Structure 1
Amino acid sequence: MSVFSRIFNKKSLEIDKSGLPKHIAIIMDGNGRWAKKRGLSRSLGHREGSNALKRITEICSDIGIKYLTVYAFSTDNWKRPQSEVDNLMQLLMEYLKKAETELAGKNNRIRVLGNKRALSHDMQNEIKRVERLTERNTGLCLNIALNYGGREEIFFAVKEILKEVGRGKLKPENVTQEDLAERLYTAGIPDPDLMIRSSGEKRISNFLLWQAAYTEFWYTDVLWPDFRKEHILEAIAEYQRRNRRFGGV
């Protein structure tokens, strides 16, 4: 039996630091409902959600998680009212611009996953700047899924393979699953071990469809702005109680 490193919260949860999930993915849901319950604007709910992201990123970094992927803005979120979309983009831009201050003294890396071509030039430039700024860091890798859709990601990867087949660089009979995985936004990132969704919803919502084939799921009724250390530890503790067989026995 491994030696337990104990981290306690109000529920006396215990996690084994030798058996942490390498990669945690989070669907950060419930910002709007959090604001509505308090008679506040949705924009304030999203701002509190941004604060929760900073808090959880720091906790994951401190306990030794290697990869954290968060669903910040989906390809379907463009259907929301323009004012809400503008507010979300402004918050994301603020987050990226503050990266140097937020990461001061930390060894974390930031990557943005998704179709960046549809984003503003200012946003694209800021993404490039932050990715370059942190690319040599070797601590937690924070992957921000921005204008991300799982079906679109797979579709783009298949199109890239078809282009290479057409150029004669690949033979159809030699194409492997690894070839497709290498053309996803997550190329070079291990598949998530644990996926968390807040707010009580129990859907994957077009997030990491290929990558989540053997991911463990954990759902909570807690709205994302209220998500704290005890919740991430509860999710990890539950993950560690499960027996992952990957189709075996």
Structure 2
Amino acid sequence: MAGGMTWMQKSWRWAAAPVWRLVYGLYERQLEEQVRALPMPGHVGIILDGNRRHARGTGIQEPNAIYGLGAAKLDDILSWSVDLGIRMVTLWVFSPDNLRRPEAEIGGIFGAVETKMRALVADPHIRHKGVHITAIGRRDLLPPSLLDAIDAAEAATRGNDQLTVTLAIGYGGREEIADAVRALLEDYAAQGLSAAEVAALVSPETIRQHLYLASMPDPDLIVRTSGETRLSGFMLWQSVHSELYFCDVNWPVMRRIDYLRAIRAYQRRERRFGV
């Protein structure tokens, strides 16, 4: 019949949907059993890519709506990570390079993150799940209202210790290393050391001590969504021994099954740390 589906096509779609949900559910449970049988990564880094691709595919045009969907996905990541026993997740939200985007788009990103941070402060489940929110990056790149929201989320969740979620916002790997070296030199200059003495003291360990969160363990696994296969400057110093996983799904529609697959891929690799 022209202009729409036939009765038979509609009936098939109605009957097939529960079958696919059943198959999907069985596969997810099988995958979860495999993942739970092996050690979990302690620290997972995620490059949140594909917001604009998803928007183009669905016809969404309003920046606040585009990035609001991405911010909402944070709830799933929190829930999945706590359930699996993962202790640390770092999410790359915004880089200095993103400042070259249109002003409305930048505002959409900042607005979505601010709204999400304020919602987390008021969410009783965050304390129940033991989620601690923190952030790294150049604060001078962020608007005051967003900084206030991030600070409020950090303060409200400071006592939680089951999962630490770090927002890398205003963050770039090169900027972090440059800032670390600058802070190191300033420290040594304050001690009255000569240039030769400073040069003798510079080492990977002394630089590491001046990174944004010096105590943060390196990520075991870094996941990038949207199909792009590059790190783009995410945790350049810390990722030297990280396992990398790239998936085609766009960030706003990342599924639990995609997260499980990434963890399974990590578990199947032999980590040699350069040896």
Query: In the alignment, which residue of structure 2 is the partner of 1:126?
Result: 149
Moved more, 96-105 or 8-17: 8-17
| Residues 1:111 and 2:134 aligned together | yes
CA distance in 1: counterparts of 2:253 and 2:176, whole angstroms: 30
Of 245, 248, 261, the match for 1:218: 245
Query: In the alignment, which residue of structure 2 is the partner of 1:203?
Result: 230
| Residues 1:59 and 2:57 aligned together | no
- Within 5 Å, give how 1:75-154 maps onto structure 2: 75-102=96-123, 103-154=126-177
Alignment CA distance shift 1:169-1:65 (3 Å): farther
Please say if residues 17 and 63 of structure 1, whose CA atoms lie closer than 8 Å, have aligned partners that are also in contact.
Answer: no
Q: CA deviation at 1:8?
A: 6.5
**When the two structures are aligned, how many residues end up with a matched partner?**
242
| TM-score using structure 2 length | 0.83
| TM-score using structure 1 length | 0.91
Q: Which runs of no fewer than 5 residues in structure 1 stay unpaired?
A: 1-6
RMSD, matched Cα? 1.8
More helix by share: 2
| Residues 1:15 and 2:42 aligned together | no
Measured against aligned partners, the alpha-carbon deviations of 1:150-202 in whole angstroms (never above 9, x if no partner) come to 10010010011111222226642233322211211132110000000011101
CA distance in 1: counterparts of 2:37 and 2:70, whole angstroms: 27
CA distance in 2: counterparts of 1:18 and 1:238, whole angstroms: 11
Q: CA deviation at 1:242?
A: 0.3
Please say if residues 35 and 260 of structure 2, whose CA atoms lie closer than 8 Å, have aligned partners that are also in contact.
Answer: yes
Please say if residues 121 and 152 of structure 2, whose CA atoms lie closer than 8 Å, have aligned partners that are also in contact.
Answer: no
Give the number of the structure whose alpha-carbon radius of gyration is greater.
2
Alignment CA distance shift 1:169-1:59 (3 Å): farther
| Residues 1:36 and 2:56 aligned together | yes
Measured against aligned partners, the alpha-carbon deviations of 1:69-88 in whole angstroms (never above 9, x if no partner) come to 00111111111110111111
